[in-house]
């Protein structure tokens, strides 16, 4: 199936990155969010991030202008009607995602493929609430989307082969690499990454190391590009906690128990970079550890 127009629901850090890479790869993009302000911020950020790629010689000013021209924004889900493929990238809460898919059904075409960028929620369950579980898939991008090479493809129990093949082709057209994962809690990347981040928070909670020593240990001792606490702030502590809860509930194993300190940071609204404070305080010139 030929995909020309892509609808992206949610203009947050994942949604804007997804819109960016699709527009730069020649797709028409309809980007929607409930907040007009979020849409304006997303467009400005996409402009800045493509400019970084122009500055590095990875794309040309002409291609940048063409990509920006291909992005249309709207606050109405109903405007996503022309999309051949829809990627939901809203908050990591199942009720929010379900409500979006339910609202979309009245407006989309029979051939439209529905996908979710969920990092952990059951694709089979999300699909079962729609009229097209065979045309529904998990389509999981990594942050920052323009830089990270991997896209996880997750088939629900009912997903058909043409839908899977279409998305494999789409990933290829973006110049990225697909990894196929079965539909079990948190799939592959987060099944492995989140328990590591949670363990880093336990290491902090139990006083084994400070924020600085934990991050430095993994950067210098395991060659990770970011320390686990810095990475948690980058992903968002609310998202990390939501994923740990999905693993804990879905696999019923105490090894996935979210660290109480992670819960406390989320309760404080210290969600990481996006709120200016998490394991680091980002409000000054350079990030300062908060413990
Ligand atoms: N758009 C375009 N380009 C970007 C960008 C963006 N949003 N962010 C960074 N870049 C580019 C920079 O321009 C730079 O380009 P050059 O290599 O040509 O110089 C390059 O990416 C590296 O960026 P920086 O120099 O600014 O910074 P850095 O070297 O510290 O790298 C990083 C930043 C790429 C984020 C790196 O620290 C990294 O790889 N961190 C780990 C990220 C990670 O693990 N992501 C997965 C999170 S898990 C997830 O997403 C799944 C989930 O569901 C939670």
Per residue in 42-68, pLDDT tens? 999 999 999 999 999 999 999 999 999
Q: How confident is the model at residue 164 (pLDDT cuts 50, 70, 90)?
A: very high
Average pLDDT on 167-173 reads 98
Q: Which of 16, 49, 116, 119 is catalytic?
A: 119
Q: Give me 267's structure tokens.
A: 């309760």
Structure token digits, residue 205: 């909670």
pLDDT-derived band at 92, boundaries 50, 70, 90 = confident
Pocket of ligand 1 (CB under 6 A): 49, 52-53, 56, 119, 142-144, 146-148, 189-190, 193, 225-226, 231, 235, 239
Cα-Cα end-to-end distance for the chain = 52
Please report, rounded to a whole number, the percentage of residues in the chain having pLDDT higher than 70.
100
- List of residues 6+ apart from 127 with CB closer than 8 A: 114, 133, 136, 156, 158, 159
Q: Is the pLDDT of residue 219 over 90?
A: yes
Distinct helix (H) and strand (E) counts, the chain: 11, 10
Give me ligand 1 centre to Cα 145, in Å. Answer: 8
Taking the model in full, what pTM does it have? 0.94
Active-site residue identified among 49, 190, 198, 230: 190
Mean pLDDT of the chain: 97
- 274: CB partners within 8 A, 6+ apart: 13, 236
The CA distance from 78 to 65, in Å, is 27
Q: Is the pLDDT of residue 129 over 90?
A: yes
Residue 35 is a catalytic residue: no
Q: Which of 14, 15, 52, 56 to mutate to test the pocket of ligand 1 (most atoms within 8 A of CB)?
A: 52
**How many angstroms separate the CA atoms of 94 and 114, rounded?**
15
107 is catalytic: no
């Amino acid at each position: 199936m030929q995909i020309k127009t892509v609808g992206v629901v949610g203009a947050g850090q994942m949604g804007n990155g997804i819109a960016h890479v699709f527009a730069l790869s020649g797709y028409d993009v309809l980007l929607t969010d409930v907040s007009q302000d979020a849409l304006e911020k997303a467009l400005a950020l996409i402009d800045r991030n493509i400019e970084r790629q122009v500055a590095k010689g990875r794309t040309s000013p002409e291609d940048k202008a063409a990509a920006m021209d291909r992005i249309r924004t709207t606050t109405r889900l109903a405007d996503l009607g022309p999309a051949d493929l829809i990627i939901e990238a809203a908050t990591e809460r199942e009720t929010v995602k379900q409500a979006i898919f339910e609202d979309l059904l009245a407006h989309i075409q029979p051939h439209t493929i529905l996908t979710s960028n969920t990092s952990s929620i059951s694709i089979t369950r999300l699909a079962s609430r729609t009229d097209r579980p065979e045309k529904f898939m998990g389509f999981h991008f990594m942050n920052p989307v323009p830089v990270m090479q991997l896209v996880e493809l997750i088939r629900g129990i009912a997903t058909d082969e043409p839908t899977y093949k279409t998305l494999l082709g789409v990933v290829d057209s973006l110049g990225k690499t697909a990894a196929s994962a079965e539909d079990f809690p948190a799939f592959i990347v987060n099944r492995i990454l989140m328990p590591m981040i949670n363990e880093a928070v336990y290491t902090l909670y139990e006083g084994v190391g400070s924020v600085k020593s934990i991050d430095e240990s993994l950067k210098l001792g395991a060659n990770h590009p970011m320390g686990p606490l810095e990475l948690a702030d980058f992903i968002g502590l609310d998202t990390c906690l939501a994923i740990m809860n999905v693993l804990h509930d879905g696999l019923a194993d105490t090894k996935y128990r979210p660290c109480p300190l992670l819960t406390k940071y989320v309760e404080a609204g210290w969600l990481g970079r996006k709120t200016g404070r998490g394991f680091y305080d980002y409000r000054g010139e350079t990030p300062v550890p908060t413990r």
